[in-house]
Structures are given as C-alpha cells and as structure tokens.
Structure 1
Amino acid sequence: MKDPALGYTEADTDTNDSAAPSLESLAADRYSRRQAIFGGAKATSLAFMGTGMLAACGDDDGGNNGALVVSAGSSAATSAGRTVTLTGTVTSGASTTTNARWTQRSGPTVTLEGSGASVSFIAPAVESATDIVFEFIASNALGSQASSQTTVRVSPAVLGFSAVGHSLEDIVVVPEGYSVTVMTRLGDPLTAATPAYANDGSDADFANRIGDHADALAYFGLSDAGAPDAGANGRGLMVQNHENITESYLHPNGPTTVGGARPLDEVLKEIECHGVSVAEYVDNGDRNWTYVQDSAFNRRVTPNTVMSFHGPAAGNAWLQTMYSPEGTAGRGTINNCANGVTGWHSYLTCEENFHGYFRRDSADDALRSERQLASLRRNGVTSRSGSYAWSTASSTDTRITRWNATTTSATTAATSDFRNEPFQFGWVVEIDPYDPASTPRKRTALGRFGHEGAFAQIVAGQPVGVYMGDDSRGEYLYKYVSNANFDAADTDAADRLATGDKYLDNGTLYVARFNADGTGTWLPLVFGQVPARPASGSYPEYAFESQADILINCRLAGDAVGATPMDRPEWTAGNPATGEIYLTLTNSNNSNRPVDGTNAANPRSYWGSGNPNGHIVRLREDGDTTAAMTFTWDIYLFGADTLDTDTADEQANINVSNLDLSNDFSSPDGAYFSRASAPSGQFNPLFWIETDDGAMTDVTNCMLLAAQPGTVGDGGARTINNTNPNTGATGSQATFVGASASAANLRRFLVGPTQCEITGIDMTPDGRTLFVGIQHPGERGDAANITSNWPASQTDADATARPRSAIVAITKNDGGVIGL
C-alpha cells in the first residue's frame, strides 16, 4: 500500500502506443454516456444509494440435460468508493454445486470480501470511467464447470450523500445511511485501575483520564501484533489534543475560591485536563469500534509532563527558569489546538492561546527589560490574574507557582523564579505516539506564536514543509522548510523523534506576504535578513539579536518584514493530489478588518462587523516544491449565512461563493483532506471543513462539510464592494476567488450538538471510518443550568447528564467509503 506520508505523485503520461482497442473503447459501444451515469434501475441504486446487487436468474433445469448453468448478472455502473455486491446464480441439473467463486479478470485490482456466490468490493479510485471485469465460476460433483462474466464501470468519485440540513438538536446529525458511535469522552479512564467517570464533578486523577475540550486528533495504525502499521484499518492509536476546559462542569458546583485562593485539588484537576491523550482503538468487526481501557499504549501528556527543547532556541537565556536553569527542558504543553502528522509517523501538537494562563503583577513591568516587555505585549501575556487564577492555589508547589510569571527581583537571576515561563510555550511539540516512555520535544525551529496547525507536506526528494497559522486576528501564515530533503526510507524509522531532529531542527522559517496580483512571497525569518521592527504605538523599535530571538518573537519578526495580516489563520491542510495548501481564516471583527483595512487575501468587511463568517485561502507553490519562495493564491470559499444575505448586493459582496441552505457555513476552523490511501483521497480528494461559529448559531449548531475543490485559479478576479451600515463608510477591494460552490461540490455532512465546536478529524487508511471531535457541548451552561446532555443524548433523548467533549466514529451502513 502506498504510504500517504510520501505525498502525491502524478501519473498522467500515456506510454502505451498499442493500436489495439482499449477495454474502455470496446465498452463504449455498449454503454451510452447516460447509461454510464445512470445505468438503468440497478445502476441508479449503485450510483445514488451506494450499494447495488448485480444478479440475474439462470435458466431452470428444463431442457438443459443436467448441464451446469451460471449467471454473473447484468453489467452496471457505479462511482469510486461505493460498495458493490456481486451475486452469481447457479442452475445445477443433476448434482449439487460443490464450488462457486468470483474472480477478477481485468481493471484496477480490488479486494473481494465474502465467499461463494455473493461477494462485495469497494469501487476503486479512478481518474476517468474505467471498466472492471469479474468472472463467476461454479462446478458440481460431476466435475462440470461453467462461468459467466460481468462488467462494472467505475466513474470518478462524487459526493454520495444527501446534505444535512440546519440543526439545533442536541445530537450529532449525519446523513441517512450513516451511523455514529461515541468513542472516548472527557474523563474516560486510560488504565485498568482508574475508576469509571462519575461525571458529577467528583472525579480526580486526570493524568490517567481523557482530558477536556477534544480538539485535533490523528489515527496511527497498529498491526495485530501491536507494531506500528500505517496501513492498519482495524487497530490504531487515537492521539487527541485537549485545548481547554469547561470549568463549570469539572467540579460539583463549579470552581470555588477560599480566601481569594483556588483550592489546590481543583487547580491540579484543571491543569491535567489540558494537553494530549493517546488511547488505543479497536475495530471488533464490521467497523464496530471501541477503545481499550488498559492498553499499554494509553498515555496522557499534560502541562506537567517533562519536555525537552530542540533547535536554535534551545538553551537561550529567555528559556531559562527555576525548573531548567539551562533552558533546555520544561514541563508540559497547554492549549493544544490543531496538529500535524509527520512522514515518519510522529504527532505534532500545537500550543495556541498559551498567553492567557500566566499572571503578571503590575510590579513586573518595572522589573523587565524593554525588549521583554515588547515581546510579552506582542504575544498577549498581560493578565494580572491568569486564566482560572491557577497561581493562587499554592505558594510553594512549583506546578502552581510557575503560572505566576512576575519577576521577584531585578537583582536576582531569571533562574530564581518563573519570569521566563511564558517563553517556554507557543511552540510545536513532537510526540511519538507509539512510545509512551518517550519525552516529547519542543521544536523551536518552527517558531513561537499562537500555533493553530502544523500541516507537514512530505514529498520524497523535497525538503519537509510545515505550514502553520497563527490564530489571532491580524496575524500571519508561516512555513518551515527543512535543510534536508525527505528520504523515503525514513518513513519506517524506528526512532521517530531522532528522525524529527533531522528534519525539524535545521531549516528556515518563512512568513507569507500575499500580493494584490494573486501571487505571494515567502519572506525568510533569518538573522541578518530581518530588519529591526520599527517603533509603533506603545512598541519601541525592536532590533533582533540572534536567530533564537527571531524564533522566540516570530510576531515581531513578521511585523518587521511586512507579512500580510490575516483574518485569524487557523488550520492548514494539503491536497494530496495537487499539493495545494489550504488555510482556514475563521473570522475577524471590525476593529481588525474595517472597510478601509481590507487586503486582497482578506477582502470582506460587512455589517459593521469586519468579516464575521470567515473564508478559506489556498495557495500553490511555484514549481510544486516545498522549497519555493513564491506562490499563487486565491480564495477558495467564503463563509456566509444565506438567510441573512438575501439582497442582490449581499449576494454579490458577502455570499461570494454562492452558498445555499445545503452548504452555507460560518467561521471555518478545522481543515482536512481524505487520506491519499483511500478512494476519497485520490484524483479529486474530499476536503473536510469544520466550523467554530458564533454568527449562525441562532439557526444551526456548528458543522462539518465535505467538498471536492478545484484548483487555484479556477475562478477569477473579483472586486468586492464593502459597506459599514453603522458609519456609512464604503470601500472596494480587488481579489481572486475560486469557482462558485454547488450542491455537486460542497455539502453539509454533519451538524453537532448544542453549543459545541466541531474539532479534529482523521480517518482509517481505507476511508471507511471517519473520526470527528466534538468540543465543549453545552459550554454556556453550568452545573445548575445544564445546556447540553451530549453525548448521553445521542442515544437517550431523556438524558440529564452533564455534557462531555468526545470523539465520534462515523461509518457508512453499507461499509463504503465515507462521503462517496
């Protein structure tokens, strides 16, 4: 099986100069174009219901002198990813049939499941209509044998489900023909000794339980023997980020304080609910998934887990703390949002909104250097209490005091306190999911900022490219390019973290500038090439002193080189067929995107609210190489609420992508392409879009959409006219847009439960199970006012339980590929 980590290849060269007619041309005489699409009643079932049965009755015994007669059924048509059932029939004259079997005679190789007269297979990915010929063979006790052939024409993949409508239900809604299984949930135990989750606020020991706020996830296959196996579909490790907490549900009656201080046990629970979890998942047959509570692979990585720093910033003075005077080690990872998966099968988790957890007392400002104050402000480390007031829970326990980043004295060393603790966060962390004893590594060469995602583009013979968004309004898109070209032999490296040293510690970090003409430039963030950041507002001039300084202060460096401010750069994803990179831009409020503050890559400002529905940018590297210094770009999709864009002006300037009720959405966040190993990930792969929305939640909960996008440049130039109805200000912005959406290329696949965010997505290599994260259902409630009962409500409409973030496994009832 081709490993999806090796990226994409192009195989469109015809090297066969034979003059013999092809199977395709021979079949053309038999099938009209309409028949190839619809194929009569049986093919209609295949094409639109996903499953069909190819069967025909054989002649009866009469008049055949006992001869064996078989039929392979009528020829039919389907499309890639659909389940096809072949059923042969036998008329045996004198004796009972002793053997009946199916075999494939031509066409792309498929795996026949089942035995005897009835078998099934998954239609393979094809670039154009392709015929597959099967033969049904039977014999009887007298030694007679007969056979019959049938042909299945497979067309390229198409979206194969009916769009899910808007929903405000407290369940996960999926299309007809699909099923939802709730997998690991907040609090589920990860050891045999850990008790079941009571879900009443009394539970403890989250170092051995699934954490809160399920976010990005990734499935890593295991062989039956428990060895790493990237192609395994029935057993694997689910690695999942835990971004934050819904504090009100974690305690019996919500969080408490005693004398102005938080209780230590409450705070330790909240801290341990953050981070990353690893849990073994097993298919018990026919995609009946469960998790293994006592698996030796199960693991929690929390904000208290020991970490090591690697790359150019390791050992820098700004990383030195009481815990690590050398600045080469630290504890934990926090606010883990999106992720990435490397070509050597390790996991990249991204630290996003780390800044809010730290407390800095007012006295700290006078004790800091001007340079550190600029860095702390630029990265938002300005709170006087810190999120959840963790630092108040103890004055001696360094698991607690580390969250107080106040400088104790101007005359003492930085290693005497935790003034530098904020600089230990905001990194990409590499974890080996297969080795619970391994120490995660913070990869400083990838830069420090509010990391949302870290999509790794892996192509053999090219440098490793890692594309990263900085999720804050007006921030930037980054790319890291390794010095070393990727060696395909490293795909199966036994020491995955050492392989990460090779590719992730030595390279160049770039930041993107999107030009008004539809091109873009990668600006290197290299010491000696980055000028001083000019003074502006409350910021003094900032001159960089080293490469480590640039990497610790990427936002200041991006400012200095003139990167393009974006509308909250979120997840990044790469099309496995084209290599194009997609970047979700969730939204931007009016203060960051006023009518006169747009740019070509962020062109909308409307309703006096900036860009509340967000959009998705895509880019193609020049020369299709990760090392490119330039690229072309357009805006693939614009989010819009179609119920609020009903005038001609709003249709033209807000609903730019021509969405309708079957596919309208707001605030794109998660982004994912189906795996290249699945039929849904080849030729024209399915692109999955998850939302984190507040603008449309009066009419629908957050959602997951499936799309078949085109390529950069399939739309054209467009001028958008922006208006602020509150002030009367107007402005126009030239940009480049993708082809309009339609029911054929974009549909809503899933809607989540009440007050949730749809986060995290991956699938098994065959594409027949889709895993999706459901984050913070009922987030606006508390113990006294529970506003969601999910996931209990998924199967019990009368449930009264507190809500829990969780992962769901989605399968197709006929066993086919998800989405096709």
Structure 2
Amino acid sequence: MTTTPTRRLLPLHTDVRHGSRSHMTCHFRCGNACDRPVPNTTDNPEFHEIAATALARRSLIKTAAVGAGALTLTGVAAGQAPLAAAAVSARGAGGWAFTPVAPNRDDKVTVPRGFRADVLISWGDRVEKGAPRFDVRNQTPEAAAQQFGYNNDYVGVLPHPTKQKRAVLVTNHEYTDENLMFPTGTDADVVKGVAMASHGLSVVEIVRGARKGSWRRAKVANTTLNRRLHVGSDFELVGPAAGDDRLKTSEDATGTTVKGTLNNCSGGRTPWGTILSGEENFNQYFEGTRPAEYEAEYARYGISGGAGRGWSSIEPRFSMQNEPNEPYRFGWVVELDPYDPTSTPRKHTMLGRFKHEGANVTIASNGKAVAYMGDDERGDYIYRFVSAGTFDGSGTRKARKANMQLLLTGTLYVARFAGDGAEDERYDGTGRWLPLCSDTESFVEGMTVADVLLNTRLAADTVSPTRMDRPEDVEVNPVNGRVYAALTNNSNRGTTFPADEANPITTSQVRSAPDAPLTSASGNRNGYVLEMTPGNDNHAGTDFQWSLMLVCGDPEAPETYFADFPKDQVSPISCPDNVAFDGAGNLWISTDGNVLASNDGLFRVPTRGPNRGQVQQFASTPFGAECCGPFISDDQLTVFLAPQHPGETDGATFEDQSSTWPNDEGFPRPSVVTVYRR
C-alpha cells in the first residue's frame, strides 16, 4: 500500500448541527440534505396545517396539567432516578418488566438491569469463505467485499431453512465515513475502493447461544448462505419500467442490469421469506452537472452533482457526464432472497423511485399484498402499493415462487390526510390513498406508467398529497392491524415550511446539554409517530383514519403527547426513526438525532390497554451512534439492534476518535447487538 496523503474529506467542526447529529454525519449520510433547497417546491398541503387546529386546542387544554404533577420527570438525565417498571401482560419481549434506562452520554450500549447486550457481528468481521481477518491499517477492496460492511442499519432475521438452532441475519450497510475508517495518508484509490465495497448488504448465518435468547455467528467455514452484496454486485431491474431508455447505459443496453445498491437504509421481511431493502440518499453519489434533459427530474430528487464521493475516478458511471442515466438506476426497493446465495437481487420499479426508507408488506383481508413506504425527505410523502395478484399461504415451493411475483404488478398510491374538524382533544382525521399508476395504466395526466415509476415524486406532486415531516419507517402492527409511521422531524418547520405559532408541533423544546434547561427551537425538532387505521380493516381499501399517537420530546415540554398516558411516567424520546413490534403488539421505536442532549436509543410503547402510550427507554446506544434496527425475534426472546456510526462527531479522526465501542481497539466499529434477559 502506498502512503500518498489524501485531502481531508470534511472540514473539522466542533459544534452540533441537528440534535445529536454532527456535521460529519450530515455530510456522509445524506450529503447535507438539510442545507440544500427542499426538493418539493409544490404548494401541496402540509401535515402540520391539517393537525394544527386540534393541536392548538390540545395545547391550551393540557398546559395547565403539565405545570403540576406531570413535571415529575423534569430534566431526566444521566445519574437521575429512572422511572418505575410497568407490568405488561404478554410472554417474551412484550411482557418484559424493566426499569427504563436513564438518558445518558456513555460510550456503550446501556440496557436495563437484568438484561445483557452482546455484540453479534461488527464491521470487518468475516462473512464469506476465504475472507481475510480484518486489519484496519491494511484494508483492501477485495477484503472488504467479503467482510461485514460499514454502518449497519436495517436488521432482519429469518428462520434457517434446514437447521432448527440457526437463523439467517440480513443487514443493510447504509454509508461509509472515511474520516473514521482510514488512517491519515491512506491511498485515495484504496479509500474509495474499500468504501464502495463496504456499502450494500450482508447475509450471515447465526446460531443460538448457550444462554436463552443469546445468539452467536456461525463459523464461516460451516455456512452455506453467507453472502456479501456491494457496489460491484449484480442487481436486476424488474417491473413495468424495466428496460426503459432512461435506465440504459453504455454498459447495459437492456436497462435491466445494475451494478450495486446504494445508501440502503431500512427494510422489511415479506410473508414469502425474502428481505426488502430501501435505497435512500442515493442522490449524493453522482458527480458533475445535471444533464439538461433531466434538469427538473434530477432537481426534484436533490441530485445536484458537485464532487459526490469521488468514485468516478474508479467507476466512470458515477459521473453524470459519462453516464447521464446512472442516477435513474438507484432509488428503488431491492428484494433479496437470503435462502438462495446464487440468486440475483431485484430492484422493483413497480414500487416507485424515491428516497426509500424501507418497505413493509402485509396481506390484506382480500389476499392482496400491500407494501407501505416512506420517502425520507422534508416535505415528501407516504406511499402504498397493492398487488394485482393474491398471496398463496400454502407454504409450498410453487406458492413461494408465485408470491415472489406479487410486487411486479398492481397499483401504486400516495397518501392525502385531512383533519376531522371535531371539537375534541384528539390529533386525528381521515385519509385517502390516491392512485398514481397500475402496471398497465397511468392515472397522472401527461405521464406514462414508466414516467410515474421513474419520477414518482413528480407524479405524486400533481395529485396534491400531504407533505410530511420526513416519513421514515412505515409498518403494520400484526396484532391490531394498524399502520405506524415514524415521522422523524423537520428542522425547517417555520422557515422554509410555513409555521403556525399556535401549533405546538412547529415549536419544540430541546436541550443543549444533559443538565441544561429546555429551550424553544423553531421547527418540528422531536418528531412524532403517526397511527393509521385502514377503513373496514382492509389494507387494500382507499380510505383510512389517522391520529398522532405520539408527539415526541421531553415530557416537561407542553407540546408533547403520549396517547393520553400520564406524562410523569414516560421516558423522553426524540426523533423516531424505525419501528418494530413484539408478540403483544407493543411498538418498539429506535431514534436518530436526539435533540434532548442524550444518546439515541430504543423505546417500547404499548399500543393498547391501560398503558397505551407509556414510552419506556429499553436501551441507549454508544456515543455518537444512531440506534438502528430494531428487530424482535420470532420467539420474542431477543431484541436485535444495530448501533451505526459510533463516534461520528465533529473533529473526530482515525487518530483522534471520540468512541472506541465496542472493543476498545482505539477505533469504533458499527455492530449488530443482541439483547436478552440474563
């Protein structure tokens, strides 16, 4: 390896910019999306306008109550007494009684007393046979392509097809942080090559451990399903838009084969045993000037060109001057069959192209497969797909093969919300799914089916859906059948986005330090959790009801709301990102970008019964890390979570790290963690 000095990839900053997010995180994860113009420049209605009347009424009604006993939790921070445990009637994770974790800034995964957190797999660990041992000072692209990638986000676990004591772990690798990964002076081409190989997905066989609820990695030599997918792996474009001229490049004249997958964020398991993975902030990887023929289309997706990641020096396709169509080949939902290591993952054009946080499938009462999706951008939309065919639950190989075609044909919708206008204290209303196209017919005037699917944002703009505050994970609760969406935040609410001072969702309370008082901040800084109930309990129908189950933040803040649960008995929660459910129907929420001066974490919230809305913090992540996953095992004995970008704080470098989690090796390693009862 040569030691030609490389330019520093990011100026050193020492201040925090968006909650707990650093300049470094914003730079590497999403290309500083919040600093760029909002791609959605339409005047379509915004969610805060719909909820404003109810929220203003509720603020007046609840403020008096907050001033008394509800402030018992005032400023809960590291070292303060945690909340009392609550009893939940259920087996496994849904019934675990625990004392909630207190907010903290520790460089470790903190779990309640009586629980244990084990590191299952970390960046650089061997995945494929023949992979070398990890050597952080001598990384190569060839080694990285066989090792566990960087920044694990989505976690999915499926039963092993033949071995009862094994399971199959599938993990996304969202992005890389070259400042933390490489010693100063590492060869520039090595840095780029390793970074490209460290994106993508990992499939890893895991084995039950000796302790109930524990897991460990299977020995690589004894696995048949382990697999790494990265920027150089083959992916197939499928569905109505596959083969469109805009998907063709000099290397792929058919418009059906793509090298790689980028910025994979969250995902979901399908009822037929595959994994869906969402390509999110793909726009930041392409360099140069936007092609004139795609100026408006690319601008709507935040594809601005510029320096990108510098990958075009190795792969010319990342320059829009070389391959103007290459950005059209990303922004899709990827389907991976983890049971067939020889299969080619598919990019589903029928699910639309946007910044997919993920996709989660449920089966409607009429047998249709329904996929819910969020477009993770300020002011963008929530989508849904309904299949044309019906699910075959017989469990045969023939049925599985047929079910794997369900996402190829059907209808794509976008959501419009409306307030109910009732004089009550609820944040609620009704909604409608607006059709954009089927696999054979466009419902948007002047656009073909391919136009709608390739430029889904532009198509949706024309039908006046509701602009949301960063809709991320959208998932169906398997117990109550309702749909839950994590709406992380919108720091520009009140500036770029119109604000209403009477609407508490546009003025949040934040902290500058753990022991600092709450102060007002413009914008929806803490986020909220949306609950949707399909009309007639039919996910394939076009009508639904909605309510805000949680308005997140510190319970001391007047704008917060926890489904009517007493505010003196909840944990502070900020910036919900991903959701999961246990066997009792409890909602588990992971956070990203906490603005309450503590580490991100994982929270459990009952969705029914007397404890509905009681937010309890179950875990906190290491310093500088985001809490990803989560996943509750099918036997309800294990919670999987995936802290990513530990130590990603401004000023940190490989030689001067702010985290050494998990192994105190002198540098941090993003990892997947299992949590279970001792």
Q: TM above 0.5, one fold?
A: yes
Does the C-alpha gap of structure 1 residues 622 and 330 become closer, same or farther in structure 2, counting only changes over 3 Å? same
Structure 1 residue 462: deviation in Å?
2.0
Unpaired segments ≥5 residues, structure 2: 1-83, 421-428, 509-519
Percentage identity across paired residues of the two chains: 34
1:33-44 equivalences under 5 Å are: none
1:141-180 equivalences under 5 Å are: 158=95, 160-180=97-117
Q: Deviations over 1:205-260 (max 9, x none)?
A: 2110000011011001115x44xxxxx5x31110000001121122222766xxxx
The equivalent residue for 2:549 is: 636
- Tell me, in whole angstroms, the C-alpha distance in 1 between the residues paired with 2:172 and 2:178: 17
1:132-531 equivalences under 5 Å are: 158=95, 160-200=97-137, 202=139, 204=141, 205-222=143-160, 225-226=162-163, 232=164, 234-253=165-184, 263-287=188-212, 288-292=214-218, 293-294=220-221, 295-361=223-289, 364-365=290-291, 368-369=292-293, 372-386=294-308, 388-391=309-312, 393-394=313-314, 400-406=315-321, 417-459=322-364, 461-489=366-394, 491-493=395-397, 496=400, 499-501=403-405, 503-517=406-420, 518-526=429-437, 530-531=443-444
- Tell me, in whole angstroms, the C-alpha distance in 2 between the residues paired with 1:659 and 1:693: 22
- Tell me, in whole angstroms, the C-alpha distance in 2 between the residues paired with 1:671 and 1:195: 35
The equivalent residue for 1:99 is: none
Greater relative contact order (CA < 8 Å, ≥ 6 in sequence): 2
Q: Deviations over 1:526-548 (max 9, x none)?
A: 2776445xxxxxxxxxx42x101
Structure 1 residue 559: deviation in Å?
0.8
Does the C-alpha gap of structure 1 residues 494 and 774 become closer, same or farther in structure 2, counting only changes over 3 Å? farther
Q: Deviations over 1:532-589 (max 9, x none)?
A: 5xxxxxxxxxx42x10100111111111000100000000121111210000000002
Does the C-alpha gap of structure 1 residues 284 and 431 become closer, same or farther in structure 2, counting only changes over 3 Å? same
Q: Which one-letter code corresponds to 1:290 in the other structure?
A: R
Structure 1 residue 308: deviation in Å?
1.0
Q: Deviations over 1:184-209 (max 9, x none)?
A: 10010113422221234635421100
Larger radius of gyration: 1
Does the C-alpha gap of structure 1 residues 460 and 210 become closer, same or farther in structure 2, counting only changes over 3 Å? farther
The yes-or-no answer on 1:802 pairing with 2:667 is yes
Q: Which one-letter code corresponds to 2:183 in the other structure?
A: P
- Tell me, in whole angstroms, the C-alpha distance in 2 between the residues paired with 1:561 and 1:49: 45
Does the C-alpha gap of structure 1 residues 770 and 599 become closer, same or farther in structure 2, counting only changes over 3 Å? farther
- Tell me, in whole angstroms, the C-alpha distance in 1 between the residues paired with 2:563 and 2:634: 35
- Tell me, in whole angstroms, the C-alpha distance in 2 between the residues paired with 1:168 and 1:206: 31
- Tell me, in whole angstroms, the C-alpha distance in 1 between the residues paired with 2:493 and 2:89: 48
The equivalent residue for 1:61 is: none
Q: Deviations over 1:669-691 (max 9, x none)?
A: 010112xxxxxx14xx1210000
Q: What RMSD over aligned residues (CA atoms) do the two structures have, in Å? A: 2.8
The yes-or-no answer on 1:703 pairing with 2:640 is no
- Tell me, in whole angstroms, the C-alpha distance in 2 between the residues paired with 1:435 and 1:661: 47
Structure 1 residue 595: deviation in Å?
7.7
The yes-or-no answer on 1:759 pairing with 2:628 is yes
Q: Which one-letter code corresponds to 1:376 in the other structure?
A: Y
The equivalent residue for 1:796 is: none
Q: 8 Å contact 1:686–1:709 — kept in the other structure?
A: yes
2:419 alignment partner, SS class: coil
1:355 alignment partner, SS class: helix
Q: In structure 1, which of residues 669, 681, 687 is the aligned counterpart of residue 587 of structure 2?
A: 687
Q: 8 Å contact 2:550–2:563 — kept in the other structure?
A: no
Unpaired segments ≥5 residues, structure 1: 1-46, 51-77, 83-121, 123-156, 227-231, 257-262, 395-399, 407-416, 533-542, 675-680, 715-738, 793-798, 814-820
The equivalent residue for 2:90 is: 80
Q: In structure 1, which of residues 669, 678, 695 is the aligned counterpart of residue 577 of structure 2?
A: 669
The yes-or-no answer on 1:779 pairing with 2:643 is no
Q: Deviations over 1:629-670 (max 9, x none)?
A: 010000010111346x3xxxx357999976458511110001
Does the C-alpha gap of structure 1 residues 495 and 788 become closer, same or farther in structure 2, counting only changes over 3 Å? farther
Q: 8 Å contact 1:604–1:654 — kept in the other structure?
A: no
Q: Deviations over 1:20-43 (max 9, x none)?
A: xxxxxxxxxxxxxxxxxxxxxxxx
Q: Which one-letter code corresponds to 2:316 in the other structure?
A: T
- Tell me, in whole angstroms, the C-alpha distance in 2 between the residues paired with 1:512 and 1:481: 13
1:83-94 equivalences under 5 Å are: none
- Tell me, in whole angstroms, the C-alpha distance in 1 between the residues paired with 2:523 and 2:653: 31
Q: 8 Å contact 1:594–1:610 — kept in the other structure?
A: no
Q: In structure 1, which of residues 779, 791, 798 is the aligned counterpart of residue 662 of structure 2?
A: 791
The equivalent residue for 1:140 is: none
The yes-or-no answer on 1:575 pairing with 2:477 is yes
- Tell me, in whole angstroms, the C-alpha distance in 2 between the residues paired with 1:751 and 1:436: 34
Q: Deviations over 1:265-319 (max 9, x none)?
A: 2211101110100011001333442112232211011121111111110011110
The equivalent residue for 1:612 is: 525
Q: Deviations over 1:342-370 (max 9, x none)?
A: 11000101100000000123xx54xx22x
